[in-house]
Each structure stands twice: as C-alpha cells, then as structure tokens.
Amino acid sequence: MRAMEFAAAAERANELRRELNYHNRLYYVEARSEISDQEFDAKLRELQAIEAEHPSLLTADSPTQRVGGAPIEGFTQIRHAVPMMSLDNTYSEQELVAFFARLQKGLGREKVRCVVEPKVDGVAITVRYENGALKHGATRGDGQMGDDVTVNLRTIKSVPLRLPTEGPQTFEVRGEVFMPKAGFAKLNEERDEAGEARFANPRNATAGTLKQLDSRIVAKRPLDIVFYGLADAAGADVPTQSAVYELLARAGLRKADIVWHADSVEDLLKAIRELDERRKTLPYETDGAVIKVDSFADQRDLGATSKSPRWAIAYKYQPEQAETKLLAVDIQVGRTGALTPVARLTPVFLSGSTVSNATLHNFEEIERKDIRVGDTVVIEKAGEIIPAVVVVKKELRNGSETTIVRPTCCPVCGSGVRQDEEQVAIRCTNFECPEQVKRRIEHFVARGAMDIRGLGEQVVGQLVDLKLIKDPADLYDLNELLLARLERQGTKSIDNMLKAIAESKSQAPWRLVFGLGILHVGAFSARSLMDHFGSIDALAAASVEDLLRCEDIGGIVATSIHDWFRDERNVLILDRLRTAGLSFAQAGVEAASDKLAGTTWVITGTLSMPREEIADLIRSHGGKVSGSVSGKTSYVLAGTDAGSKLDKATKLGVKVVDEATLAELLGE
C-alpha cells in the first residue's frame, strides 16, 4: 500500500515540476502567463508538501529549491571550457566604420552580415547544462578561470534548473546577470526603510550580490539574466549567431529583447542609432551595442588577438552630459577620519535621474582642475551612473567664484587635521569625532563583520547623536529603556536588535578582529591572523616580527596591527568587549595526532566534504591551513575544478595531492 502511495506521490511530483517549470519559463523568459499567481503558488505549495513528506523525492532541480542554502566558506574556481574574451571598445561612428572596413578586407567581400544587440550593463557569466540539468555557472574572472557561483545562479528564476525535453540538453552559454531598473529601485527603498546604505547603481548591486557567500541573501535580490553567446553545443549544428538565438529560445533561456541584422555599414549605423533611442525603454541598464559577425565560419576566418576577437566590437554610447552650477562643497568624514569633498549642485536631470551632488574625490583633484564654488560645470555619469565633474566652464566665470580651500580642521568636530606624506587623504585627528564614531560602528555591525541585524546607518546615527554609544563596546550596554529613546522603533524592533546584539557575542573571533576596523586588515587577513595566533590576546601581544611570520601579512599591515593594539583607547575597548562576553579565542580543534606537524596546506577545488571540515581535520593532526600558495606551502590539496592556486603550485613546484593521499598521510 505504502509503495503504491509513494509511486503516486512521485508521479504527482514529476507532473508538478513539469508544470511549474513551464509556467516559470512563460513568466520569466517570455513575459506572459497562463495561470494566476495564486494558482502557481498553490502548485508550488503542493510540491513542497510532497517533498517534505517524501524527502527522497526532493531533486536539486526542483522549482522549490530557489530560496538559497546555507552559507559557503568561499568560492572555488572553474576553468572555462572556452576562454571568456573581452571585446574591444569603440566610442565613435568613425571607428565603427573602420571596424566594418576591416571585416570587409579580412573576408574579401563587400557584404558582411552582422548582428547588433544591446550591451547589458551587468556581470558576465558562463552557464553549463549537461543532460538537461544545470551543472555549473561561473564569472568571467581572468578569462581563463572564474568563480563558481552556481549556488547563487540557482536562485535566479529565469535560469532553468532543468531544460525542456524538446530542446538541446548539453551545452554552455554565455550571458549577463543584471538587476532590473524597477527591482533596483525597490531594493534601495527597502534598504532605506531598514536603515541600510543604498546601492550606488544596478551593476554594483549585481556584482556584490553574486559575490555573496549566503545564497539565501541572493534569493531575496531581484537578479535576472539575458543570454547572448554559445561556448559549446556538444556537436549541435549551430552555424551562426542568429542560430544561437534560436537555440536559446528552444532551451527556454532569455535572449536579447531586440536584435538588428546589418550587412552594410549604412545598416550598421542605422541599427546603433535606433538602439540608442530604444534602449531607455528596456528593463535593464545598457551602455552600448555589441556588434558581431553572424557567420561562425567568418568568425573563424577573422580570428582573434590575444585578448579580443576580431569579429566583434562593443560600441559605447557617449555618456550624457549636463551643465549645472556648483553651489557648495560639503566634506564627509570616514571611519578612518579621511575628509572627502562632495559637490552640491543645482539639480539637473541626467541619464534618467536628477543629480544634485557629485564626488570631488580629494583636494588635489580640486586643485588640479581648478574647481571653484560658483563655477558652471559639466557633469556626466561615469558608466552612466556615478556623477562626476568633467569640465569647468572657466570662460563663464564673472569673478564671484570662490576658491575651495583645503580644510585645516574637521568640519564636524573642529579638531585639527593631518595629511600623511605618502597619501592624498586629509584626516581628522579626533578619535572621538561623531562622524568617525558612526562610520566605525557601522563597519563593526556590518554583515561581513559582527553581523548585528537591525543596526543600519539611521539607527547607528541616532545612537551616536543621542550619546548612547561612542564605541563598539557600548553596544553591549544597550537595553530596552535606552533603545526606546530612538525614533520610529517599536517594541518588536527593539527586541530584535537586542537579540542580534546578544547573538553577536558568539561570533568567531576573526569577525571581531575584522570589525575592529584596524587599518589594512580585511576579512581574509583577520581569518589568517586567528588561524596563526589562535586568540585575540595572542595577536595583541605579538611583535611586528611575530606578525610577519603570519601567512599573508606584510610589513605595512604588521605595523598597523601592532600600533592599533598599543593604543590605550583600543586596549580599553577590548577589555570591555571581553567583559561583555565576546569570543576572543579560536574554537579549539581536538588534537588527534601530530602526523601533519610542521606542514602548511592550501585547499582548492571541489572535494568530498566542505573545505572547513577538511581544514579542521588537517589542524587536528598538527598541520596549518593557509589561503594562498607560496614557497612555504608544503601541500596543495586539490579537488575537481581546482583553479589558479593549482597553477601557482605547479609553477612553484609545491606538491599537489588528492584526498586519498591525505588519508594515507593520516594512516586512514
């Protein structure tokens, strides 16, 4: 009886997967639907219920598996079957005419059929399917190898986890992951409400999202993808780029919204002009057009340079510019005290949005361009996103303009400033400057550091302005009564903040080291330091010479760390953090033997168990684990799809072993 029930459940699950995949394809790729959202959700819930009752029926390509999984430790590398080359750029129609002339000369004929498609401003990606199932996806990287971001790509609803049976089943395609304009605007609204920093532009938001180690976060971001190229089609007859579009359609993969064909320079110029008019209506940001020779035989005849194909080019549209007045210059103070000048402008509409400010980078840049308050300036968005002053209209000056003077004191606290000899940054010298305090605490609570949820920029700003906190240790003295003084914070929000603060006490000590904001110490360096010293107390007591013995720590970083731990203010903060109950010592790994004593290991590639488990195994037998290959490395443990670390090991003559060899060394 139960066997019959299981068979019926399996049949129903397969039927639901087929239906849900079909409707996903209609909605996310073809932009149409045949059923309501409620009907779709009902089918999805039914499938979830079947998989929950019969876990063996849960498949990796199930439509229920797009919510993201547990965080990973880091990205492995994938070697591209076909290198991902970059395109040459051109910025003028004259250069495009010259490009077409080179095609004519190279092929020996007047007519050369080309395709023209929008250049999506996103992140280049390669995706491989085998036997109808998604195998892996990777970023461009260095063109030869890229980061394996498969777990994050699986969360994108327009990426099929399984292909339709009527289309091709094994191939590798190239595409561009992007964040739709509407989705980007909504995401920034949500971040505003949560008190988190806004993303600067859709491309940065996309790149940052793809690099998340927690795919559950990725699943909540509005990523999409458009495919445009073919790297490998497993023997399929695909003779032209036009045929690639047909293959993508049969595979249920989203392709370019609009494509032109041109076989003369006149048609080519007409196409890029039409695209320039229509691209503002597209759902994603574009910064140009991509022109490719249609015939793959012609592409092979034309060949490539060491970096770029000769049969394709990217035509970049000139950034829109606008003329406006520079009304004032404000100075922002960063967590290290760096003073950054920001131009306040008469609002002007540019590239789809109203611009009222622009960064001026630093005071040397201001002096070099002779920028003055009251000037008429020409601004443009670098990459059509970030406002920048490109030209000062000095001929329009009337004598009322005022020179922008380097600050001699902090604009926030009034303290003196200094400029290091080898740096352009001017810094506030007051450690207790309110703006520095805000930025330091924002860094401490950030997701990559202590990950204290609910303490966004607005909340931290209020806490500092109300003098409720002045350093990270003060966070652990907060209570319900103090937090009730904050604006727009209800009981539930306060409870969640206190819970997040309490939970942060159990964070790994490397996160605390990173969160302390020591100059030049990033997350990876913090991990290396904790692996080497084992505790924050040992790190604090280390000399510069001791620090230099740590893998990946150089002279500048070692000096910065040493100085930080000898500042009395920092010592007091550390003492209070210890008293608050934060973790100062690396969780001990039970010693199993000393069989690997004196050896240093680097782990790379896909292995039979998570890297951290293997790293703990090596440590438990006396070995050390490093994040980079050097002459001090004893062994590189390499799994499948091992990346650049394997290449470096080969060059340095470092011994490369597999898991079986590790087991032999351990006598297992």
What's the pLDDT score for residue 70? 53
Q: Give residue 251's pLDDT band: very low, low, confident or very high (50, 70, 90).
A: confident
Residues in the chain: 668
What's the pLDDT score for residue 397? 94
Domains 434-504 and 509-580 share a fold: yes
> Domain limits of the chain?
2-57, 89-316, 321-402, 434-504, 509-580, 600-665
Per the CB < 8 A criterion, the answer to whether 551 and 532 are in contact is yes
Give the homologous superfamily in CATH for domain 600-665.
BRCT domain (3.40.50.10190)
CATH architecture of 89-316: 2-Layer Sandwich (3.30)
Q: What is the DSSP letter of 585?
A: B
Question: Which one is the CATH code of 2-57: 1.20.1630.10, 2.115.10.20, 1.10.287.610, 3.40.630.30?
Answer: 1.10.287.610
Partners of 90 in the β-ladder: 315
Q: Does domain 434-504 have CATH number 3.20.80.10?
A: no
Q: For 580-627, what is each residue's pLDDT tens digit?
A: 999 999 876 556 788 888 888 888 877 777 666 787 788 788 888 777
What residues contact 11, with CB distance under 8 A and at least 6 apart?
Answer: none
- Give me 387's structure tokens: 């406002």
What's the pLDDT score for residue 216? 83
Q: Which fold has domain 509-580?
A: DNA polymerase; domain 1 (1.10.150)
pLDDT for residue 497 is more than 90: yes
Q: Give residue 165's pLDDT band: very low, low, confident or very high (50, 70, 90).
A: confident
If you search the block for the tokens 């003077």, which residue do you land on? 405
Q: For 326-341, what is each residue's pLDDT tens digit?
A: 999 999 998 888 898 9
- Asked whether the CA dihedral 118, 124, 130, 136 is positive or negative, the reply is negative
Could you give the angle at the alpha carbon of 399 between the alpha carbons of 397 and 403, nearest 5°? 90
**What stretches of 96-184 adopt beta strand conformation (E)?**
114-120, 123-130, 133-139, 145-147, 171-178
| Better-predicted residue by pLDDT, 265 or 88 | 265
For a pLDDT cut of 90, what percent of the chain falls above it?
39
What's the pLDDT score for residue 384? 45
What's the pLDDT score for residue 223? 92
Per the CB < 8 A criterion, the answer to whether 429 and 336 are in contact is no
Full strand arrangement of the beta sheet holding 260-262: 89-90, 312-316, 286-293, 114-120, 260-262
What's the pLDDT score for residue 608? 76
Q: For 185-226, what is each residue's pLDDT tens digit?
A: 888 777 765 556 667 678 878 888 888 888 888 888 889 999
What rounded mean pLDDT belongs to the chain? 85
| Nearest to 356, CA basis, from 375, 335, 370, 342 | 342
Instruction: Please state, in angstroms and rounded to a whole number, the distance separating the CA atoms of residues 533 and 521.
Output: 15
Q: For 261-292, what is each residue's pLDDT tens digit?
A: 999 999 999 999 999 888 888 888 888 999 99
What's the pLDDT score for residue 469? 96
| Nearest to 115, CA basis, from 284, 249, 273, 245 | 245
What's the pLDDT score for residue 33? 63
pLDDT for residue 71 is more than 70: no
For residue 196, CA distances in Å to 178, 455, 457, 473, 502 come to 21, 8, 5, 21, 20
Q: Name the most confidently modeled range: 346-355, 363-372, 387-396, 403-412.
A: 403-412
Could you write out the three-class secondary structure of 545-578? HHHHCCCCCCHHHHHHHHHHCCCHHHHHHHHHHH
Instruction: Please state, in angstroms and rounded to a whole number, the distance separating the CA atoms of residues 626 and 524.
Output: 10
The mean per-residue pLDDT over the stretch 10-19 comes to: 82
| Nearest to 236, CA basis, from 248, 225, 254, 227 | 248
For a pLDDT cut of 70, what percent of the chain falls above it?
90
The mean per-residue pLDDT over the stretch 408-434 comes to: 87
Catalytic residues: 119
Q: Does domain 321-402 have CATH number 1.25.40.390?
A: no
What's the pLDDT score for residue 429? 92
For residue 266, CA distances in Å to 100, 118, 274, 299 come to 10, 18, 12, 21
pLDDT for residue 1 is more than 50: no
What's the pLDDT score for residue 383? 46
pTM for this entry: 0.50
pLDDT for residue 149 is more than 80: yes
Within the chain, what is the greatest distance between any pair of CA atoms?
94
